[in-house]
Amino acid sequence: MSYSDLSNKLQLLGISLYKNDLFLIEKNRRIVRDFELIALCQVLNIDYNELSKLIEFE
Q: Please, what are the averages of pLDDT over each run of 10 residues along the chain (58 residues)? A: 95 96 95 94 91 70
| Phi/psi of residue 47, nearest 5 degrees | -75, 115
* Domain spans in the chain, listed from the N-terminal domain onward: 3-54
Q: Whole-model pTM? A: 0.83
Roughly how many angstroms between the first and final C-alpha of the chain, as a whole number? 31
What is the distance between the alpha carbons of residues 5 and 23, in angstroms, rounded to a whole number? 13
Q: What is the pLDDT at residue 56? A: 66
Q: What is the pLDDT at residue 53? A: 77
